[in-house]
């Protein structure tokens, strides 16, 4: 007899791409906003995380709208990680928009328009709406199909009940089709929106829990609704101001959100939307949710963008702007003036500044442990000690990159645990910045367009280039 072979299927929804900050789940704070040493993917940077926790609390209480926060520190000290932790801690309800300073110059629109769209993407509107719904447990569904195909449309009856009443509803062809799509059967608890006719399956009634011996894990049991079948319910829709702008400025409406072809939006459209949202706020139909706009590499913005940010932060509907930079005293782009972090002094006055410090040896080891776990790489203790040493002497980013490449080297020799020899092999294959710069110094005469005169490739020059 032939052996039955079952084909393996992979659940594609469970496959997630591992990114540089995919291991971060939050800021790693306790209930009193004190940072834990290692928590939710973040390690060390206790003062910076505590400051971010205070800002998080102020955002949740709505006390910091229209303010700015600057996260400043050396490269590889976790600035973007703290911003990502802040975004995860805010939850799904609070909008979080992220862009890099250089993105603004590559978009097919003016710089101020790109910043305006980013600002409005970070401002949420929670719109409240009252709708009439019918909620009950399905007692019976009767569908009368015509004897001759195409003679007449299908009709039927739907019997719904609550703990207090039971009613029979006549069904048309569209409602029968909707019930079929949702696979509604006797014993299900459903909700029907009277305005749109949309049917929502809420679950299965507890009274029918013993109908079958076995059920799938997705089966949800709920109580039979009480009171009347017809009720008024408040429905809350959460959208951003930018989404409302796009829907009202394009002929294809909300489809423009999917195509990405938003283009420049006229000021008149935004003014009308702001007026309408203000009316809704006065009537109690909507409330504004100030979100967070994170601008990485903020020193890449020019003087025009900084002037716009200064004015935009004063707007009553401005989000919390979090910016990050790894620059020291440098020129403000578009001018010949030098300033701390390459940001004008008048804008720096508006910002709460959070400083990040270089990681210690112990913290680098803990971060590498977390990344090994995230990338599903088994590594021996000796290999981790060597990788930590490499991270101290070169950079944390370089050490993290070596994790996956050393795992591939281990896989090639048919090993299961990454050893020191694998780390050494990839360390020789891939140069870090210091070794690459040293190589350039030694062989500078053999490269085209070399701008360093002979004899100047000393250690001091190497240090300047690396820094």
pLDDT score recorded for residue 459 = 46
DSSP H/E element including 130:
strand 123-144
Band of the pLDDT at 44, cuts 50, 70, 90? confident
Among 422, 399, 400, smallest CA distance to 411 is for 422
- From residue 351, how far is each of 70, 310, 344 by CA, in Å? 6, 10, 11
pLDDT digits (tens, 9 = 90+) for 53-93: 888 888 777 666 667 889 888 888 888 888 888 877 877 77
The tens digit of pLDDT for each residue in 348-395 reads: 888 888 888 888 888 888 888 888 888 888 888 888 889 999 888 888
* Cα–Cα distance measured from residue 452 to residue 467, given in angstroms and rounded to the nearest whole number: 17
pTM, rounded to two decimals:
0.68
461, pLDDT greater than 50: no
Q: Give residue-wise pLDDT tens across range 149-183.
A: 655 577 888 888 888 888 888 888 888 888 888 88
Of residues 355, 363, 361, the one with CA closest to residue 47: 355
- Which strands form 351-355's sheet, in the order they lie side by side? 96-100, 292-296, 320-325, 68-72, 351-355
Lowest-pLDDT range, 60-69, 124-133, 143-152, 423-432? 143-152
Q: In the predicted model, is pLDDT for residue 27 greater than 70?
A: yes
| pLDDT tens column, 307-317 | 888 888 888 77
Q: Whole-angstrom Cα distance, residue 372 to residue 378?
A: 7
pLDDT at 463 over 60: no
Strand partners, 143: 156
What confidence tier does 2 reach under pLDDT thresholds 50, 70, 90? very low
> Residue 18: is it exposed, middle or buried by C-beta count within 10 angstroms (0-12/13-18/19+)?
exposed
Structure confidence at residue 251 (pLDDT): 57
Nearest to 236 by CA among 307, 276, 285, 274: 285
């Amino acid at each position: 007899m032939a052996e039955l072979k079952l084909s393996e299927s992979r659940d594609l929804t469970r496959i997630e791409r591992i990114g540089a900050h995919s291991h971060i789940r939050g800021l790693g704070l306790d209930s009193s906003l004190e940072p834990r040493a290692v928590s939710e993917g973040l390690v060390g940077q206790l003062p910076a995380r505590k400051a971010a926790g205070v800002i998080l609390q102020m955002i949740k209480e709505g006390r910091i709208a229209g303010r700015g926060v600057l996260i400043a520190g050396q490269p590889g000290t976790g600035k973007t990680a703290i911003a990502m932790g802040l975004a995860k801690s805010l939850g799904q309800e609070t909008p979080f928009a992220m862009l890099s300073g250089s993105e603004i110059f590559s978009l097919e629109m003016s710089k101020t328009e790109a910043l305006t769209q980013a600002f409005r993407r970070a401002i949420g509107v929670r719109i409240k709406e009252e709708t009439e719904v019918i909620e009950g447990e399905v007692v019976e569904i009767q569908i009368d199909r015509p004897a001759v195909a195409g003679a007449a449309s299908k009709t039927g009856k739907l019997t719904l009940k609550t703990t207090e009443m039971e009613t029979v509803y006549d069904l048309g062809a569209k409602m029968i089709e909707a019930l079929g799509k949702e696979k509604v059967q006797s014993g299900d608890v459903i909700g029907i929106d009277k305005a749109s006719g949309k049917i929502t399956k809420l679950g299965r009634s507890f009274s029918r829990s013993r109908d079958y011996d076995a059920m799938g894990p997705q089966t949800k049991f709920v109580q039979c609704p009480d009171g009347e079948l017809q009720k008024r319910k408040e429905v809350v829709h959460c959208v951003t101001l930018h989404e409302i702008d796009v829907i009202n400025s394009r002929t294809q409406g909300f489809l423009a959100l999917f195509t990405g072809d938003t283009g420049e939006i006229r000021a008149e459209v935004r003014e009308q939307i702001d007026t309408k949202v203000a009316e809704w706020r006065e009537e109690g139909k909507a409330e504004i949710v100030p979100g967070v706009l994170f601008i990485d590499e903020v020193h890449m913005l020019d003087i025009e963008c900084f002037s716009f940010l200064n004015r935009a932060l004063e707007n009553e509907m401005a989000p919390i702007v979090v910016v990050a930079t790894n620059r020291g005293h440098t020129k403000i782009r578009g001018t010949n003036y030098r300033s701390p972090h390459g940001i004008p002094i008048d804008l720096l006055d508006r910002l709460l500044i959070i400083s990040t410090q270089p990681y210690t040896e112990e913290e680098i080891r803990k971060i590498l442990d977390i990344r090994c776990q995230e990338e599903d790489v088994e590594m021996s203790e000796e290999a981790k000690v060597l990788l930590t040493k490499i991270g101290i002497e070169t950079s944390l980013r370089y050490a993290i990159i070596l994790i996956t490449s050393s795992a591939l080297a281990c896989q090639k020799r048919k090993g299961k645990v990454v050893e020191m020899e694998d780390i050494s092999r990839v360390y020789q294959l891939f140069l870090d910045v210091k070794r690459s710069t040293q190589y350039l110094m030694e062989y500078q005469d053999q490269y085209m367009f070399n701008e360093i005169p002979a004899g100047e490739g000393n250690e001091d020059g190497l240090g300047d280039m690396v820094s």
